[in-house]
């Protein structure tokens, strides 16, 4: 994917720190404390079966390699199990750092199509997994509860509110723009 | 006794829309324990922490905070049977309390819909609510002990991790969920990969179901290596979906066949409290719907009156 391509070496004395600042602001404030011990990757069930390497991504981020970090699809293999966060000796909170990098990736247009669809479902139905078939209502009746639960599936005002919130935060555009470009 | 404890019952998506037997069982169990669950009208997706939190932190926190405001207005704490919903609301609440900038951004968004997050509500998981009721009280309600049932546990991640925020249990050696499950008399079966993630979270299942299932398969294989179990109990519907429906999907993707009955902790308690499986619809689990079969009643030690027993056919 990325590592096999030939690239110019990074000049450590001239690192672009904008990306790190972005991560710090977006929910990964402790990223600079990382001393690359590898406890996170050693604990990582995603890294055990894919080319996702949490320690490597953190190091790349510290070196300012933004494009490298946000464009690789492996960024999306973290299940957010927080095992690394519980074990990191430097309190880097690697899971939060990865989530922050994903926020930057999405803001720059790197969103996987299935993820975009889930996001749209919440704007359409108020739920990522909606009550979208009659058979689901039947299933509810089979377990002796009312066919439509008292959540956004029953109260369309809730969906309207979510759309308004998403408009205010700019999330609707983030999701829609990609749709238009496809 | 003092006033009846009341909680808002936050449903989320997977429980009410795919595994409603959990919702039904929760109502039975909490009623048996003398606790009232209130409808949380107009609550939405939590929204999924690993998914929405990965897309846009402010939007994630704002939608979670909108849910919190419903409970704040009503004046009761929240309980939920989902690790993901619990984490979304608990973590958003925690982060807004520690990050004034995030709180300000969230309240700016909520102002658009006439709401304000104040931070006055406690978010609990059913596991917390049960633990507070106390093991002795739960034990008193057990009328159908699951003696002889070999029970593996899958705690999942987001109720107890990250441990410095959740402050629930020792996440490398948790015991609270196990203690609750053991009140039923079922026999706890330890296995090496008990604490690894089911594989579904963080938007991984959505992006690449086969990779997500590979986690699940590792758990099943780890359990098989100690001789298997009769049931696997989890406190999370997304884990339940991954372990339950996941068995059907694993068969397709990896050609390996597993047959585990997967129970949410409230489904386990409902059975132990003497409720019949059809009262809360245990057979509606998607694994059984897809495989056109039923739980292994014999292994569960439950006698069910089958339709074909009553009406003999040719
Ligand atoms: S465990 Fe912490 S300090 Fe060690 S490499 Fe990972 S993030 Fe860095
Ligand atoms: S939270 Fe993500 S990076 Fe950390 S151990 Fe779990 S899967 Fe790996």
Domain boundaries defined on chain A: 18-107, 113-181
d(CA A72, nearest CA chain B) in Å:
13
pLDDT at residue number B304: 83
Q: How far apart are the C-alpha atoms of A63 and A19, rounded to whole Å?
A: 9
Res B1 pLDDT > 50: no
Ligand 2 centre from B71 Cα, in Å? 32
Q: Which residues of chain A have a CB within 8 Å of the CB of B39? A: 150
pLDDT at residue number A8: 76
Portion of chain A with pLDDT greater than 90, in percent: 87
- The number of residues making up chain A comes to 182
Q: ∠ at Cα B157 (B152, B160), nearest 5°?
A: 100
What structural domains does chain B harbor?
Answer: 5-126 (1.20.1050.140), 143-300 (3.40.50.11810)
Prior bond of B163 cis (ω within 30°): no
pLDDT in tens, A1-51: 455 567 777 787 888 899 999 999 999 999 999 999 999 999 999 999 999
pLDDT in tens, B58-71: 999 999 999 999 99
Res B85 pLDDT > 80: yes
pLDDT in tens, A86-123: 999 999 999 999 999 999 999 999 999 999 999 999 99
Res A180 pLDDT > 90: no
pLDDT in tens, B165-185: 999 999 999 999 999 999 999
Going by alpha carbons, the residue nearest to atom 5 of ligand 1 is A36
Residue from A78, A130, A143 to probe the interface with B (highest B Cβ count within 10 Å): A143
DSSP-based three-state secondary structure for B216: helix
pLDDT at residue number A181: 47
B37 forms bridges with which residues in the sheet? B7
Res A69 pLDDT > 50: yes
Number of helices (H), then strands (E), in chain A: 10, 0
Res B88 pLDDT > 80: yes
pLDDT at residue number B19: 98
pLDDT in tens, B26-51: 999 999 999 999 999 999 999 999 99
Nearest-by-Cβ selection for B48 from A112, A114, A128: A128
Contact B200 A46 (CB under 8 A): no
Instruction: List, as ranges, residues 71-100 from A with C-beta within 8 Å of B.
Output: 73, 76-83, 85-86, 93, 95, 99-100
Q: Are B280 and B24 in contact (CB under 8 A)?
A: yes
pLDDT in tens, B224-279: 999 999 999 999 999 999 999 999 999 999 999 999 999 999 999 999 999 999 99
Q: Are B246 and B264 in contact (CB under 8 A)?
A: no
Q: What is the mean pLDDT of chain B?
A: 95
State the pLDDT confidence band at B3, using cuts at 50, 70 and 90. Answer: low
Q: How far apart are the C-alpha atoms of B71 and B65, rounded to whole Å?
A: 10
pLDDT at residue number A182: 43
Mean pLDDT of the B190-213 span: 96
What is the DSSP code (8-state) at residue A173? H
DSSP-based three-state secondary structure for B124: strand
Q: Are B37 and B9 in contact (CB under 8 A)?
A: yes
């Amino acid at each position: 994917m990325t590592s096999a391509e030939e690239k110019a070496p990074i000049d450590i004395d001239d690192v672009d720190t904008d990306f790190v600042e972005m991560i710090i602001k977006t929910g990964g404030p402790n990223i600079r404390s990382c001393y690359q011990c590898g406890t996170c990757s050693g604990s990582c069930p995603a890294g055990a079966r894919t080319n996702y390497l949490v320690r490597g991504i953190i190091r790349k981020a510290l070196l300012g390699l933004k494009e490298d970090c946000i464009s690789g699809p492996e960024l999306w293999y973290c299940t957010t199990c927080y095992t690394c966060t519980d074990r990191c000796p430097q309190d880097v909170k690697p899971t939060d750092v990865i989530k922050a990098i994903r926020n930057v990736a999405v803001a720059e247009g790197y969103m996987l199509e299935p993820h975009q669809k889930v996001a749209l479902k919440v704007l359409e139905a108020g739920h990522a997994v909606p009550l979208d078939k009659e058979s689901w209502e039947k299933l509810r009746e089979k377990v002796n509860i009312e066919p439509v639960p008292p959540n956004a599936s029953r109260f369309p005002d809730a969906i309207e509110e979510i759309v308004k919130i998403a408009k205010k935060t700019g999330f609707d555009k983030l999701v829609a723009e990609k749709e238009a470009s496809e | 006794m003092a006033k009846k404890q009341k909680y808002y019952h936050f449903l989320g998506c997977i429980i009410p829309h795919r595994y409603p037997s959990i919702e039904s069982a929760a109502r039975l169990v909490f009623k048996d324990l003398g606790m009232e669950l209130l409808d949380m009208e107009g609550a939405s997706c939590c929204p999924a922490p690993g998914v929405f939190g990965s897309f846009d932190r402010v939007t994630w926190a704002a939608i979670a905070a909108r849910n919190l405001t419903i409970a704040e207005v009503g004046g009761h704490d929240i309980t939920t049977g989902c690790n993901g919903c619990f984490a979304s609301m608990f973590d958003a609440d925690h982060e807004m309390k520690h990050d004034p900038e995030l709180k300000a951004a969230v309240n700016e968004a909520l102002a658009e819909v006439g709401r304000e997050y104040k931070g006055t509500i406690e978010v609990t998981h059913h596991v917390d609510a049960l633990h507070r009721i106390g093991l002795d009280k739960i034990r008193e309600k057990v009328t159908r002990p699951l003696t002889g049932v070999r029970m593996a546990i899958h705690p999942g991640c987001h109720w107890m991790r990250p441990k410095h925020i959740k402050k629930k249990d020792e996440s490398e050696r948790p015991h609270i969920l196990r203690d609750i499950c053991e009140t039923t008399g079922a026999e706890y079966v330890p296995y090496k990969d008990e604490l690894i993630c089911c594989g579904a979270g963080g938007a991984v299942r959505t992006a690449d179901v086969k990779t997500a299932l590979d986690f699940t398969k590792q758990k099943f294989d780890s359990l098989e290596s100690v001789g298997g179990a009769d049931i696997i109990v989890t406190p999370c519907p997304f884990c339940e979906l991954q372990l339950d429906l996941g068995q059907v999907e694993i068969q397709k993707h990896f050609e390996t066949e597993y047959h585990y009955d997967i129970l949410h902790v409230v489904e386990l308690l409902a059975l132990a409290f003497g409720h019949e499986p059809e009262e809360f619809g245990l057979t509606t689990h998607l694994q059984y719907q897809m495989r056109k079969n039923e739980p292994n009643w014999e292994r569960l030690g439950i006698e069910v009156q089958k339709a074909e027993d009553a009406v003999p056919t040719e």
